[in-house]
Amino acid sequence: MGRLFGTDGVRGLANASLSPELALRVSGAAAQVLSRGRQRPLALVGRDPRASGEMLEAAVTAGLTAAGADVLSVGVLPTPAVAYLTGLYDACLGVMISASHNPMPDNGIKIFAAGGHKLEDAVEDRIEALIAEDSPIRPTGAEIGRVRNASGARDRGLEIPDQYSVEGTHGRYVEHLVSAAGQDLSGLTVVVDCANGAASEVGPAAYRAAGATVIAIHAEPDGVNINDDCGSTHIDKVAQSVRAHGADLGLAHDGDADRCLAVDADGEIVDGDAILAILALDMHESGTLAQDTLVATVMSNLGLHIAMRASGITLRTTAVGDRYVLEELRRGGFTLGGEQSGHMIFPEFSTTGDGVLTGLKLMARMARTKRTLADLAAVLTTVPQVLVNVPVSDKSQVAKAAVVRDGVAEAERLLGENGRVLLRPSGTEELVRVMVEATDPVQARQLADDLAKRVASI
């Protein structure tokens, strides 16, 4: 069996590669590894609204209770809400059933440790080892876990404290978001594309609770329409709605609402790099940007590097993936990080990317400064970028080849501080991605083509 865990949990085609049987085994093993020595560990389970989530939640719940864990089912909530509530209720683990921005037929299982933290590689390895052994602990009788459903389970003889009700779980998350935003948003009108996903209720509720006038679109999930021609992967839809309603801005979430992209009042896209720049400057000015350092991935545009350098902010880069951003944030004690794709992480308030919190923070900056989003986004000028995907026979050998190393060195010499070069092996295919950024787009194309030919020759 190959490695189950990818960059963000276990993901696959629901009822095929991601079967109920696998979900049961993964959750049971996770309960054993993450129980923290408790006799009756508490596991919190949430999901996005895709149809297969109902089936997989049943399997995950069976795996957890069969391992002796009590389960609190919180229903449809964003991934960051599940992470937050895992910490709030002192659960030993949290499980989010979602495939994020993937199409509806896919689904996934994301697991959080105590405190709502993503799993380290070593912990994932221990879970996979237990699954491979296929000798799960199976308590019997009264030691079998019980299920509390936040929508009400008193008819099953389980007394549920008020904080475990739907109103309690969802309300506490919304209160947390509004408190973290720390700014009255009255006077701002926002269009929110909920992607027919997990933020369809709590997203608009949080924006309204903060004072904004909210126009919610694609907020009617039916189990099959999640991410379907909407949300952060189809941002043209929110742009059209912003122009039609004369709104101040638009926000677009993905299926599990851990990311957020924006458009200004004219419908122009404000991507993750621009959002990072706006928020970093806001925190820099307020003295809350720890060590005046922002964390981003190597895929962030050179324009972000230039803008941060001009503002006296250090930009630290990591490998692609929000887990690597998180690791760097923790290691350095930094307070803001994110990705071009729209994952923004505020360690003071969240243990993972939170799209709704990002939207609130972005609008808070607008409200405090009385500036438009277009004006704020002008701090970043995107540098032209050329990306070439080069098929290779063995991607592990490319970086070692002298012809490639020489080409990279020459390109970097020619670019100086006016550009950069990045060669990155694909995580899933025998491909090498050649990226060149340069203030001169013609030069960027020429250098990228030259490097692609060198890579292809290996």
Which residues are annotated as catalytic?
100
Whether 26 contacts 131, CB under 8 Å:
yes
Cα gap 212→183, rounded to integer Å? 10
Q: Which contiguous run of DSSP H or E holds residue 240?
A: helix 236-245
Bridge partner residues of 293 (DSSP): 314
Residue 157, helix vs strand vs coil: coil
Long-range contacts of 412-417 (CB under 8 A, 24+ apart): 414/443, 414/447, 415/443, 415/447
Cα gap 250→446, rounded to integer Å? 36
The reply to whether 258 sits in an annotated binding site is: yes
Cα gap 327→292, rounded to integer Å? 18
Tokens of 66: 């069969």
| Region class of 158: left (phi > 0), else alpha (psi between -120 and 50), else beta | beta
Cα gap 365→394, rounded to integer Å? 47
Long-range contacts of 37-40 (CB under 8 A, 24+ apart): 38/92, 39/68, 39/143, 40/68, 40/69, 40/70, 40/145
Calculate the CA 75 to chain-centre distance.
19
Q: Which contiguous run of DSSP H or E holds residue 213?
A: strand 213-217
The reply to whether 100 sits in an annotated binding site is: yes
Tokens of 391: 């098929």
φ, ψ at 362 (rounded to 5°): -65, -45
Burial letters 308-331, b for 16+ CB under 10 A, else e: beeeebebbbbebbbbbbbbbbee
Alpha carbon distances (Å) from 88 to 81, 139, 140, 179, 218? 10, 27, 29, 15, 30
β pairing state of 213-217 and 189-193: parallel
Cα gap 339→321, rounded to integer Å? 8
Cα gap 458→454, rounded to integer Å? 7
How would you write 244-307 as a 3-class SS string? HHCCCEEEEECCCCCCEEEECCCCCEECHHHHHHHHHHHHHHHCCCHHHEEEEECCCCHHHHHH
The reply to whether 256 sits in an annotated binding site is: yes
The annotated binding site for Mg(2+) is made up of: 100, 254, 256, 258
The annotated binding site is made up of: 100, 254, 256, 258
